[in-house]
Amino acid sequence: MFNKLKERWKVNGVSLILIIATFALGGSLCGYAGRKLLLLTNLEKGLLWFVLYIVLITLLWPLCVMLISIPLGQFSFFKRYILRIWGKMSGKSSKKSKNVIKIAIFASGTGSNAEKIIEAATYLLGKENHEAEIMWKVALIVCNKPGAGVLDIALKNNIPTLIIEKERFFNADNYLPELKKYDIGFIVLAGFLWKMPANLIAIYTKKIINIHPALLPKFGGKGMYGSKVHHAVIDAKETESGITIHYVDELYDHGEIIFQAKCPVSDVDTPETLAAKVHLLEHKYYPQVLTDVIH
């Protein structure tokens, strides 16, 4: 049951405990506050008291859990949770009233993550998935390596591509005109090795995410990419590795961590076998986490 919850909410074990604690403490707090408020009315316990109590705790509950979530470090989870419930109650999550957010994937490798993300978007749009809070689709693939596998994936899926070069990306307009032309609202890095320019980070605040094939903050930073990461993990005799999905800031592999998932590293693992395990996690979770954080 707990594993299912961890997967559904995309959190690790510690966060799950803190989330459950927030539910419990938030529930007790709103029950307590509801009773205290009813004392002010001098009402006797009876049907009216009970109805008012239910109304009060329904109204107080979101406030109380949000309050408790702050010291327990779970504010962003509960903000999303409550917005989702609100969306369902107010019917705002129906597909008709939703705008489709357009994503640019920045990638320069084989593009297996890009492919999984494209599949997930197609699924969400195709099946009219009313569960999804926000609809999104991949509108552009940005790549700095002509001939990279990700470009074939874009072609196969009829997605426009943009090949970028260093000088303009870092020292001129950062290709903003093209991002505007395609109405890009969110950026996903999937095997993109250049830093993001400060200007793009400022414009897309909390709207650029990256995936790293290890458990940050270990094994990240400049030069830590591809099989080098897995070599380093094995050399350090780690017993587990995994993935980290994080917001992007101006440092390599440094922005706020959104999600991590782990896999075991055994004595017989090689960088290749470890890479395969990590890729499985990436393909499973990156589209899900993206769907959760996109706004």
Contact 267, 231 (CB under 8 A): no
Closer CB to ligand GRF, residue 111 or residue 255? 111
Q: Which residues in this chain contact ligand GRF in the complex, by CB under 6 A?
A: 107, 109-114, 190-191, 211-213, 282
Among all residues, whose Cβ is closest to ligand GRF?
191
Closer CB to ligand GRF, residue 197 or residue 213? 213
Respond yes or no: is residue 130 known to be catalytic: no
At its nearest, how many Å lie between ligand GRF and the CB of residue 161?
15
Within 10 angstroms of residue 194's Cβ, the number of other Cβ atoms is: 14
The residue annotated as part of the active site, out of 212, 230, 246, 279, is 212
Q: What is the dihedral of CA 266, 267, 269, 270, to 10 degrees?
A: 150
Contact 152, 107 (CB under 8 A): no
Q: How far apart are CA 187 and CA 278, in angstroms?
A: 22
Closer CB to ligand GRF, residue 269 or residue 282? 282
Closer CB to ligand GRF, residue 151 or residue 179? 151
Crossing angle of helices 149-156 and 112-126, rounded to 10°: 20
At its nearest, how many Å lie between ligand GRF and the CB of residue 98?
27
Active site residues per annotation: 212
